[in-house]
Amino acid sequence: MQEFKIADQTYTSRLLIGTAGYPNFHIMTDAIAASGAEIATVSMRRVKWTDNTSGENLFALLRERGMTILPNTAGCFTAKDAILTANLAREALETSLIKLEVIGDEQTLFPDVEQLLGAAETLVKDGFTVLPYCNDDPITCKKLEDIGCAAVMPLGAPIGSGMGIRNPYNIQIIRDLVQVPLIVDAGVGTASDAAIAMELGCDGVLLNTAVAKAHRPVLMAEAMKKAVEAGRAAFLAGRIPRKLYATASSPQAGMIE
């Protein structure tokens, strides 16, 4: 399968995984290993840095496993707060990677597009590699690409909803409009959702709750890995056209009379 590239870094896995909401650190690390993901996103404002029972450090655990740590600005409601959080992340973790989130509403957790665009522009100018969480709006995604973001990450459905890809048509339009990697972020509930995102032409899928809150997180992580791989292969293979009526798969010529 083709390698996956963000900015100047190349990965083999197209699944990005979150680190929040797992029953404990042990299950989290086992799930991440089962997912095959090479990028793990961590909230700088909400992260529990250590496991209170074992004293293990989250960042040390991820680095021991060779993971790329993608800090995010979850919980920020203004461009100012997001920019501050990004700078704290760069100083603390020595990385210019940032998953940019600027939330506009506590109930829906939809992005505030105006604040998001402003924060993205500032961070790109400051040398960050910006991966913005955004609405599934083609125009917003194109503007983020024009600003210089390294990828665009439209939601499939509201964060943590598990509703899947609610507007596949917009995702397809975004795929046609942008040249940077397209990563569905938020809303994936099960493996078929991840496969659908990849079949639409997405370059990757970022998820958290679907694995962390599953009855068996490690098994779900393995399912997500397979779904992303299968969806990507199906996209590259090219699906048959949809038809209203049947078409016989066997030839009509030479049939016994």
- Cβ contacts of residue 101 below 8 Å, gap of 6+? 72, 73, 74, 75, 76, 82, 111, 132, 133
CA 190/CA 207 separation, integer angstroms:
10
Token pair of 232, please? Answer: 């990507």
Token pair of 255, please? Answer: 């049939």
Asked if residues 201 and 211 have their Cβ atoms less than 8 Å apart, the reply is no
- Catalytic residue of the set 99, 213, 226, 243: 99
99 is catalytic: yes
CA 169/CA 138 separation, integer angstroms:
10
**Letter string b/e over residues 127-157, b meaning 16 or more CB atoms within 10 A of that residue's CB:** ebbbbbbbbbbbebbebbbebebbbbbbbbb
Q: Which residues are catalytically annotated?
A: 99
